[in-house]
Chain A
Amino acid sequence: MSDSVTHSPTLTTPPLLEYRSVDKTFTGQSEELPILKGLNWSLSPQVSASITGESGAGKSTLLHLAAALDRPTSGTIFVAGQAVSQLKEKELSQFRAKTVGIIFQFHFLLKEFSVAENVWMPAWLAGESKKIAQVRARDLLAQVGMEKRSLDYPGILSGGERQRVALARALINDPPLLLADEPTGNLDERNSLHVQELLLNLVSQTKKTLLLVTHDHVFARRCQQAWRLTAGTLVPEEKP
């Protein structure tokens, strides 16, 4: 096992996200495929970091582990001081609702619900009052430029618009950590740039911590930190 130790450069406050000796191995039918090897890495609050790497390198896995959607083979992941890999099923829902916001490559909006409902619903489902959730959704939709489409249904939105709604949805519970997995991967260049702009501005304005996984090196470099996942560990991306 390689003992890679990488840290984000600014560690004046306790990290919001920390991977401590994390191994992740996928077991196939005939062989084991190690993805992360003894990863030690952390991310300070209010910092945006991007992760690039080849397909299959384990970028998304890294993100899924942070979102507690997956568990490491060994090691511990801490988010806001919580050891997420040890959370039980009931605690996981609370953690996902309150601590992390996730944006995927595919928007996964609920087609039977309006744009506004898609945004405020996760807050309401997490136990927030409907009124407060609706007010917050209205603000977020205004911030992503979708306030006029709030009564429309996802079926009639463009790909870029859907992803902007997904961005608002990810922020509805005001999570300290935002995880974005190829959020522009399905968009054309113009929409991609628009979503990038929105995401980075919102993260900056709302003082969130962002962990972005992308193939787009230009987008990756717009984050405060740029990392590359290679051979199961993270190395700083060299600036061009």
Chain B
Amino acid sequence: MSWRWRAGWKLGFRVFQGAFQGRTKFLLSSALAMALGLMPLVVVFSIADGMIEGIMARTLEVAVYHLQVWPFSSLTPPSALELQNMRQRLDASYPGAHAWPERDGFALAFTEHARTGVDIRGVDPTWIKDPGVRRYLTAQKGTLNFPDAHSIWLGDEIAHKLGVQPGDQIKLLTSQMNNGTPTIPRITTLTVRALVSIGYQELDKLWVFVPYETAVQLLPGPQTPTYWGVKIPDPYHHLDQATQALGVAAGNNYIVAPWTQLAKSQLLNYQTTRALLALITALILLVASVNISTSMVTLVLERQGEIAILKATGTPPSIITWQFLSLGMLSGLLASVAGIVVGSALALNINNLISGIDDVVSFFQGNGKSFHLLNNNYYLTTIPVRLHTSVLLLMGFGTVLLATFAAWFPARRASRLRPLEVLRKV
């Protein structure tokens, strides 16, 4: 079998070489069509993972923590001593664990000219020192500290909406809802210390940060209990062990939830979107592989005379089969290389490309408004790109396999060609 494969390969390789010398150009066209089909697949896989990782990492480090410890019931906020004891227990429960108390709720933020609903996050002042937080939460303006209890950091988008800068004052309208008593509105004036961003604009237009103690004042009711956010050195492994250890440390009145539960729907949503995108682009590739098949059929028709003479001079049909399979394989290989190289280049420059498209369209719109291809509200400010060599190799291998498979039918047809039928026509 091996020499027949080599012989078939040699025959196929020469025909393929001929395509670069102006003969059987349609072979190159079909390989190009397949490369064009592969490019979006490469881009999707390169940016989808990065986007999911980017959004999830931000979510983990700045929003949901690695684990959360919630009380089953909490009528009153814990005292300073209770907080200190709990922090010590949780920190000691798992190697490298750090716990911070947090108290969240809703408020209406307003100035004289504007107002907007916000999500208050009452965070421990030491929370900002966590490396994960510092990596993703950045001060666009001002400094990330709370010099006094009336300090507030605003999400970039909120600050833009309210038209405030660091040093300005805003008011927060909160409500205290006690069981059986009327809702009591409360207005608190706070000084803006920083405009912050986590690079994910959907959250930047939602969050304001206040010191934990201030949040206790603003949100005293049982509807907004204090919970604990915990971070561990490796949130992607040994999460079960950490969950168990924290559960023991927290005691029976608390429940521990890992990030895989807290952000499960979000993660599944992204993964499903990626899978759908991959499926659609894979379908494009599949359709493109039909071109290979069509080219091979054309080639078989064009080369009938040569196939006939090869068979008439005793070439075994298997060599003819290998010849056309190798042509499919080579076309697939060319498509793989071109698709992966260009697709990777596109992926690596995706941010520049989108920005360029935005600029060009904005210029031609001529109305002074800036055009955004992607809605910034739902995307990262920059798309992270992750090129995984193993995934690229797998896609390349899949493309070669697909092209070879596409060549199978024409190859069989060529090998079964009866020489006499061709020779009679000449």
Instruction: Enumerate chain A interface residues (CB-CB to B < 8 A).
Output: 64, 67, 69-70, 89-90, 93-98, 101-102, 104-106, 108, 110-113, 122, 124-127, 169-170, 173
Contacts and interface: CB of A to CB of B under 8 A. Distances in A.
B312 A69 contact: yes
B11 to A, nearest CB: 8
Contacts of B317: 89, 93
Contacts of A125: 7, 310, 313-316, 319
A93 B306 contact: no
Contacts of B305: 106, 108
Contacts of B15: 112
30 contacts: A64-B420, A64-B423, A69-B418, A69-B419, A93-B315, A93-B317, A94-B314, A96-B313, A96-B314, A97-B315, A98-B314, A104-B423, A105-B426, A108-B305, A108-B308, A110-B306, A110-B310, A111-B18, A111-B306, A112-B14, A112-B23, A122-B314, A122-B315, A125-B313, A125-B314, A126-B313, A169-B313, A170-B313, A173-B313, A173-B314
Contact of A90 (B18, B313, B316, B420): B316
B236 interface: no
Contacts of A126: 313-315
A70 B319 CA distance: 21
A122 B419 CA distance: 15
Contacts of B419: 69
Contacts of B308: 108
Contacts of B313: 96-97, 101-102, 122, 125-126, 169-170, 173
Given A69-B312, A97-B313, A122-B314, A112 B7 contact: no
A82 to B, nearest CB: 14
B3 interface: yes
A171 B317 CA distance: 21
Nearest to B7: A125
A157 to B, nearest CB: 16
A95 B426 contact: no
Contacts of A124: 7
Contacts of A122: 310, 313-315
Contact of B316 (A69, A93, A170): A93
A94 B23 CA distance: 31
Contacts of A104: 309, 423, 426
B17 interface: yes
Nearest to B308: A108
Contacts of A127: 3
B420 A69 contact: yes
A227 to B, nearest CB: 22
Contacts of B310: 110, 122, 125
Interface string B1-42: 001000100010011011000010000000000000000000
A112 B18 contact: yes
Interface string B297-332: 000000001101111111111010000000000000
A96 to B, nearest CB: 4
The 4 lowest CB-CB distance pairs between A and B, nearest first, are A97-B314, A108-B309, A96-B314, A112-B14
Nearest to B314: A97
B7 A96 contact: no
A200 to B, nearest CB: 21
A101 B309 CA distance: 11
Contacts of A95: 314
Contacts of A64: 420, 423
Contacts of B18: 111-112
B9 to A, nearest CB: 12
Interface in B257-314: 305-306, 308-314
B314 A69 contact: no
B423 A93 contact: no
A108 B306 contact: yes
Contacts of A101: 313
Contacts of B316: 90, 93, 125
Contacts of B11: 110
B312 A93 contact: no
Interface string B388-426: 000000000000000000000000000000111001001
Interface string B354-369: 0000000000000000
Kindly name the residue among B305, B309, B310 whose own CB sees the greatest number of chain A CB atoms within 10 A: B309
A126 B318 CA distance: 12
Contacts of B315: 93, 97, 122, 125-126
Contacts of A90: 316
B314 A113 contact: no
A127 B305 CA distance: 22
Given A90-B316, A122-B315, A126-B314, A111 B23 contact: yes
A69 B23 contact: no
A96 B310 CA distance: 10
Kindly name the residue among A69, A89, A94, A108 whose own CB sees the greatest number of chain B CB atoms within 10 A: A108
A64 B424 CA distance: 10
Given A95-B314, A106-B426, A125-B313, 5 more contacts: A69-B423, A89-B317, A112-B23, A125-B7, A125-B316
A111 B18 CA distance: 9
B412 to A, nearest CB: 13
A97 B308 CA distance: 13
A96 B312 contact: yes
Nearest to B309: A108
B162 to A, nearest CB: 73
A186 B312 CA distance: 20
Nearest to B418: A69
A15 to B, nearest CB: 22
Contacts of B309: 104, 108
A170 B312 CA distance: 10
Interface in B336-370: none
Contacts of B420: 64, 69-70
A169 B308 CA distance: 15
A221 B309 CA distance: 28
B21 to A, nearest CB: 9
Nearest to B415: A89
A93 B23 contact: no
